[in-house]
């Protein structure tokens, strides 16, 4: 996806030190008062996260945006697809802003609307036009893909409701075509007890996704082969190493991790679920966590009475989430206070209407 170019900030922003930036953001927030809502995903860095009005996983933030009817400006400290969803779910008079336009999501970029539309047609030609196939897209996808899914009778899902939405999809049709995250799809199908030989991978760019028409006819769930570069860094070997070192450690991972990692873990779930599990565990509990490093480090700081570690010995950082820096947050707020809108994220009306069908379906399910 080509995003609009991010403007260079005036030098004065880079020159300002951390305490001054914090002070100025706090002052701008006070000035904009209840016209403003700052939403922050759990992967945001601390110096941005501290300014959030609402923090959450993708589902919680989508709901917060949908219910914030009275806020004129929604500054979304997250990635592009999240800001798009917020724009779709808010009123026409509300303005959604992404502080740095380069904050995309590599997984969402792996499923372009055109290539998915082509694959969809190819699949239908192979299995027969009369076959009812339900498309489901993870919220980590472009508004255009959500619109395609809405148009074809499908739904959006997030990491906290993927199993429920997949169950719904299989109740509506004979097959589900799941985008863009292979691993969330595979982990959810396994949790529902769908046999492995009924779950098929569609490899982008290959005729019939690299499958035979017979195999596609038999499959219940067809998975697009997208993935998250951050969560792919966790391995089953990491789990075994932690268990050898700390036999009483508990392992919790995000469902974007590979199947074998989820299988070796004790629990898996969305960022919100990970936070809840750690919070609800007793003092002295030990955790190895397979998700983005900013969230793991925050949990370690919030729970000094527990042993909190990253599952991987390496820093698994989402570099696009990390693009949202206090300098950019302040810059968008300074502009708002001066009556200028910068970095607005808008989804055209037709796309928004169709994408909304898929998003509303999820909120209903």
User: Is the Cα torsion angle 106, 259, 134, 210 positive or negative in sign?
Assistant: positive
User: Using an 8 Å Cβ cutoff, are 75 and 329 in contact?
Assistant: yes
Nearest distance, CB of residue 319 and ligand 13P, angstroms: 12
Q: Which of 230, 324, 330, 355 binds ligand SF4 (CB under 6 A)?
A: 230
Which residues make beta-bridge pairs with 109?
A: none
Going across the sheet that includes 286-290, the strands are 267-268, 250-253, 286-290, 307-310
Residue number, 175 or 254, with CB nearest to ligand 13P: 254
Q: Which of 44, 45, 55, 58 binds ligand 13P (CB under 6 A)?
A: 58
Residue number, 321 or 357, with CB nearest to ligand SF4: 321
- 40 forms part of the interface with ligand SF4 (CB under 6 A): no
Nearest distance, CB of residue 82 and ligand SF4, angstroms: 8
Q: Which of 228, 253, 293, 299 binds ligand 13P (CB under 6 A)?
A: 228
Binding mask 48-87 for ligand SF4 (x = CB under 6 A): -------------------------------x--------
Q: For residues 265-304, which are near ligand SF4 according to CB under 6 A?
A: 292
Q: For residues 250-309, which are near ligand 13P according to CB under 6 A?
A: 254, 256, 270-271
Residue number, 58 or 343, with CB nearest to ligand 13P: 58
Q: Quickly tell me which residue has 């006070």 as its tokens.
A: 30
Nearest distance, CB of residue 56 and ligand 13P, angstroms: 7
Binding mask 183-222 for ligand 13P (x = CB under 6 A): ----------------------------------------
Nearest distance, CB of residue 55 and ligand SF4, angstroms: 15
User: Using an 8 Å Cβ cutoff, are 138 and 114 in contact?
Assistant: no
- 159 forms part of the interface with ligand SF4 (CB under 6 A): no
Nearest distance, CB of residue 325 and ligand SF4, angstroms: 16
Residue number, 140 or 351, with CB nearest to ligand 13P: 140
- Residue 185 C-beta-side C-alpha neighbours within 13 Å: 32
Nearest distance, CB of residue 155 and ligand SF4, angstroms: 19
Q: For residues 103-122, which are near ligand SF4 according to CB under 6 A?
A: 105-107
- 228 forms part of the interface with ligand SF4 (CB under 6 A): yes
Binding mask 134-153 for ligand 13P (x = CB under 6 A): ------x-------------
For the chain, what is the HEC assignment? CCCCCCCCCCHHHHHCCHHHHHHHHHHHHHHHHHHEEEEEECCCCHHHHCCCCEEECHHHHHHHHHHCCCCCEEEEECCHHHHHHHHHHCCCCCEEECCCCCCCCHHHHCCCHHHHHHHHHHHHHHHCCCCCEEEEEECCCCHHHHHHHHHCCCEEECCCCHHHHHHHHHHHCCEEEEECEHHHHHHHHHHCCCCHHHEEEECCCCHHHHCCHHHHHHCCEEEECECCCCHHHCCHHHHHHHHHHCCCCEEEECCCCCHHHHHHCCEECCHHHHHHHHHHCCCCCEEEEECCHHHHHHHHHHCCCCEEEECCCCCCCCCCHHHCCHHHHHHHHHHHHCCCCCCECCCCHHHHHHHHHHHHHHHHC
Residue number, 185 or 209, with CB nearest to ligand 13P: 185
Nearest distance, CB of residue 266 and ligand 13P, angstroms: 17
Q: Which residues bind ligand SF4 (CB under 6 A)?
A: 79, 105-107, 140, 228-230, 256, 292, 318, 320-321
Q: Which residues bind ligand 13P (CB under 6 A)?
A: 42, 57-58, 140, 158-159, 228, 254, 256, 270-271
């Amino acid at each position: 996806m080509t995003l609009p170019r991010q403007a260079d900030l005036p030098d004065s922003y880079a020159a300002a030190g951390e305490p001054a930036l914090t002070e100025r953001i706090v002052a701008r927030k006070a000035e904009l008062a209840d016209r403003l809502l700052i939403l922050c995903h759990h992967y945001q860095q601390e110096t941005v996260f501290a300014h959030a009005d609402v923090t959450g996983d993708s589902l919680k933030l989508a709901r917060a945006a949908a219910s914030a009817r009275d806020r004129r400006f929604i500054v979304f400290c997250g990635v592009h697809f999240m800001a798009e969803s917020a724009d779709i779910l808010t009123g026409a008079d509300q303005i959604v802003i992404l502080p740095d336009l380069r904050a995309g999501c590599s997984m969402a970029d792996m499923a372009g609307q055109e290539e998915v539309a082509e694959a969809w047609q190819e699949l239908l030609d192979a299995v027969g036009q009369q076959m009812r196939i339900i498309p489901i897209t993870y919220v980590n996808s472009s508004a255009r893909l959500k619109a395609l899914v809405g148009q074809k009778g499908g739904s959006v899902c997030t990491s906290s409701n993927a199993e429920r939405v997949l169950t719904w999809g299989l109740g509506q049709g004979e097959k589900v075509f799941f985008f863009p995250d292979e691993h969330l799809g595979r982990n959810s199908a396994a949790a529902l007890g769908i046999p492995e030989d009924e779950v098929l991978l569609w490899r982008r760019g290959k005729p019939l996704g690299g499958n035979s028409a017979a195999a596609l006819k038999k499959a219940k769930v067809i998975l697009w082969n997208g993935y998250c570069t951050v969560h792919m860094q966790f391995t089953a070997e990491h789990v075994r190493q932690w268990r050898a070192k700390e036999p009483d450690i508990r392992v919790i991972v995000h469902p974007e991790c590979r199947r074998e990692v989820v299988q070796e873990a004790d629990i898996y779930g969305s960022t919100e679920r990970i936070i809840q599990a750690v919070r609800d565990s007793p003092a002295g509990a030990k955790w190895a966590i397979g998700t983005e490093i900013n969230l793991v480090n925050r949990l370690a700081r919030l729970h000094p009475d527990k042993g909190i570690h990253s599952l991987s010995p390496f820093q698994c950082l989402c570099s696009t989430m990390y693009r949202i820096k206090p300098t950019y947050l302040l810059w968008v707020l300074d502009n708002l206070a001066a009556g200028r809108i910068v970095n607005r994220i808008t989804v055209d009306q037709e796309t928004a209407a169709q994408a909304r069908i898929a998003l509303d379906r999820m909120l209903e399910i």
